[in-house]
A = this chain, B = another copy of it.
């Protein structure tokens, strides 16, 4: 790896900075915010799902009774009662987690940054699903790894394909087992068992990113990797989807050997996460209404997902396929091979609807005929109108791409 790239500008930048490229996705998301556009693009929670009243009450209480605690410097590990509440909640769902294993982070994005900082040298091998979460790729890429795609299908990672050659010397495998971003797919229990078994045998660290696990539409998610192999997993969670992303409160759970280093990296990064928002997260997690709020969010998203699936079935032409998520915020559409979704994006925009082209979610081998749709942000009427517009754009492009289809 050449670490001596000549400076392009006035300042000699770090090699990692020279490799940073402007995010085309950022520009695309800005366009999708135009008021005339129905956006299935950004991964935002529904504005109707934000618990504004409880949050206002909580912040009032915090500033009345614990203002100095909330406003002074705090411990880098995080606010102790929040760490305890997170450990208790994770323990309820089958993992055995002590508060000492919990590090509060500035959103789960920072958890990814810290994990990468502690584990990745330039040139380190890092395994990812395909497709995978773009934000994770961006965080990990800052530490200049070599990404390798672990073979995946509609059920997610295929553990049998993780052979000795792929796993050897890999610093970590990054996986979202529940309602994955961008596909909405869930890793089945038997694959989780097989994955953990292989990882343990080969000393592969599993980074389990679970921002959507609580948004399960019915029943429960399969057991977490953390619950199966607490010594082999860094587990990452977030309050962005169930409370509010603007709080920037997430967390990670790690084995002690890694926690010591992650804590030092956290301290060097931003000293600690905001005191007020940590206390807000704690209040909302422990005020007795969290589960009822969660259930309301689940019902809302389940209905919106069902509506989008119904509209897709109604409007989409033959040759278009999509996933049927059991939770979360996203579904994944596969178009006929002739359609490049980046080109389709422009057509769709002209029709007043936006999505994210699937190429954005592939670190290595882009599949151009795919796209991610978010069903949480739009209203039901917008979902109906937006899917119809999208189908119209696809049909028009199919006619252009293969005019004979227009005859049939």
What residues make up the interface of A, taking CB atoms closer than 8 Å to B?
A: 3, 9-17, 20, 22-23, 26, 42, 44-45, 47, 50, 52, 55-56, 59-60, 63-64, 67-74, 76, 105-107, 109-110, 113, 117-121, 124, 135, 138-139, 141-143, 169, 171, 203, 205, 240, 244-248, 255, 257-258, 260-261, 264-265, 267-277
Question: Does B268 contact A142, Cβ atoms closer than 8 Å?
Answer: yes
Question: Does A119 contact B246, Cβ atoms closer than 8 Å?
Answer: no
For A105, A118, A139, A169, the residue with the greatest tally of chain B CB atoms inside 10 Å of its CB is A118
Question: Does A14 contact B120, Cβ atoms closer than 8 Å?
Answer: yes
Closest 5 CB pairs of A and B: A246-B275, A71-B244, A71-B246, A17-B118, A106-B270
List 9 additional contacts besides A14-B117, A139-B268; criterion CB under 8 Å: A11-B205, A14-B118, A17-B265, A22-B260, A42-B73, A50-B71, A73-B245, A135-B271, A139-B269
Closest to A169 in B: B12
Closest to A121 in B: B14
**CB within 8 A of A119: which of B17, B110, B169?**
B17
Measured CB to CB, the closest approach of chain B to A275, in angstroms, equals 3
Q: How far is the CA of A324 from the CA of B69 in the complex (A)?
A: 31
Question: Does B268 contact A113, Cβ atoms closer than 8 Å?
Answer: yes
Q: How far is the CA of A171 from the CA of B275 in the complex (A)?
A: 34
- CB-defined contacts of A271 to chain B, threshold 8 Å: 107, 109, 135, 248
Question: Does B124 contact A14, Cβ atoms closer than 8 Å?
Answer: yes
Interface of A is mostly: helix
- Check A63/B71 contact, CB under 8 A, given A14-B143, A22-B264, A107-B271: no
**CB within 8 A of A73: which of B3, B44, B273, B275?**
B44
Question: Does A119 contact B14, Cβ atoms closer than 8 Å?
Answer: yes
Measured CB to CB, the closest approach of chain B to A21, in angstroms, equals 8
Q: How far is the CA of A113 from the CA of B142 in the complex (A)?
A: 12
- CB-defined contacts of A74 to chain B, threshold 8 Å: 246
- CB-defined contacts of A264 to chain B, threshold 8 Å: 17, 20, 22-23
Q: How far is the CA of A105 from the CA of B248 in the complex (A)?
A: 12
- CB-defined contacts of A26 to chain B, threshold 8 Å: 76, 267
Measured CB to CB, the closest approach of chain B to A81, in angstroms, equals 15
Question: Does A248 contact B273, Cβ atoms closer than 8 Å?
Answer: yes
Question: Does A63 contact B59, Cβ atoms closer than 8 Å?
Answer: yes
Closest to A143 in B: B14
Q: How far is the CA of A95 from the CA of B153 in the complex (A)?
A: 56
Q: How far is the CA of A199 from the CA of B245 in the complex (A)?
A: 42
- CB-defined contacts of A267 to chain B, threshold 8 Å: 23, 26, 138
- CB-defined contacts of A143 to chain B, threshold 8 Å: 14
- CB-defined contacts of A109 to chain B, threshold 8 Å: 268-271
- CB-defined contacts of A110 to chain B, threshold 8 Å: 269-270
Q: How far is the CA of A50 from the CA of B72 in the complex (A)?
A: 9
